[in-house]
Amino acid sequence: MKMIETKGLTKYYGKSRGIIDLDLSVEQGEIYGFIGPNGAGKSTTIRLLLGLITPSSGQAAVMGRDCVRERTQILSETGYMPSEAMFYDNLRVKEVIDLSAKLHKKNCKKEAARLYEPTSGLDPLMQKEFFSLLAERNREGATIFLSSHVLSEIQRHCQSAAIIRDGRLIVSDSVEALSRTSARRVEIHGIKQPPAIDGIVDIDCGPDSVRFLYQGEMQALIASLSGLGIEDLSISEPDIEEIFMHFYNGGGAGNGLV
């Protein structure tokens, strides 16, 4: 069963862009990462899924229920943890949850959860405990939609992930597939500019060195470096943060890393 599904989901605020033609699919039981830079459309997407705002066009469903027509039923079976939340000082966590449930006449047993940068401000020990609780709820059957800027969290805890930029979905796949790439991280000392060869992206030039991601034939790269006065050369696999940053900064599924 698809716990979250959107088709052509679009939201404009007047003439301002929220999200455009968003197609998402989250399977039951997944911990699904949702990442993108500030202003990409993450908050808009989550509010649409919760029925807190209405779409300009397109469709969205949670647990098979329409996010507009069946908003009340969806909210009765979901939990939402924002990045910033204010609580009464003298209440325990369970008391806060019970109070909220009674106010909205809801059952506290949740089948799905939506989180928006929930680890912001938590110290490392509390972050570890938080993800232990998420894993426990996931083992009990909860589907978790996790919005985070911490890419290591996505890699460590999510099975699948989507990257959104400028209101549009850039790529969506398993975290394992997103981590696989034929590109290599190249660092060269002794030159100030990268060699003139196709397949180079994410260039970072220093006073006497240059770093970049390269996708192409290694023989062609080595040939292009001949005679450049290289002092040192290292070639390694990029880590997942570099791969995601490529998508953040303008790369696309068909433009750069595969």
What is the tens place of the pLDDT at every residue in 27-36?
Answer: 999 999 998 8
Least confident among 44-48, 140-144, 147-151: 147-151
Q: Higher pLDDT residue, 211 or 239?
A: 211
Q: Higher pLDDT residue, 168 or 253?
A: 168
Q: Which residues pair with residue 200 across a beta bridge?
A: 214
Q: Higher pLDDT residue, 251 or 204?
A: 204
Give the number of other Cβ atoms within 10 Å of residue 201's Cβ: 17
Task: Quote the pLDDT of residue 158.
Answer: 93
Q: Which residues pair with residue 173 across a beta bridge?
A: 161
Residue 181 has pLDDT above 80, yes or no: no
Averaged over 206-229, what is the pLDDT?
88
CA angle 226, 228, 232 (to 5 degrees): 90
Residues carrying CATH 3.40.50.300, the chain: 2-176
Report the percentage of the chain scoring pLDDT > 90. 40
Q: Strand, helix or coil at 68?
A: coil
Q: How far apart are CA 61 and CA 47, in angstroms?
A: 12
Q: Looking at domain 2-176, what is its CATH homologous superfamily?
A: P-loop containing nucleotide triphosphate hydrolases (3.40.50.300)
**Residue appearing with tokens 């109070």:** 99
Band (pLDDT 50/70/90 cuts) for residue 113 is low
Q: What is the pLDDT of residues 189-199, one digit of tens each?
A: 998 888 888 88
Residues found in the chain: 258
Tokens of 75: 């909210």
Least confident among 115-124, 198-207, 208-217: 115-124
Task: Quote the pLDDT of residue 252.
Answer: 56
Averaged over 137-144, what is the pLDDT?
93
Residue 105 has pLDDT above 70, yes or no: no
Task: Quote the pLDDT of residue 59.
Answer: 96
Q: Which helix (H) or strand (E) holds 152?
A: helix 151-157
Tokens of 186: 């190249």
Task: Quote the pLDDT of residue 109.
Answer: 47
Buried b (16+ CB within 10 A) or exposed e, 162-171: bbbbebbbbb
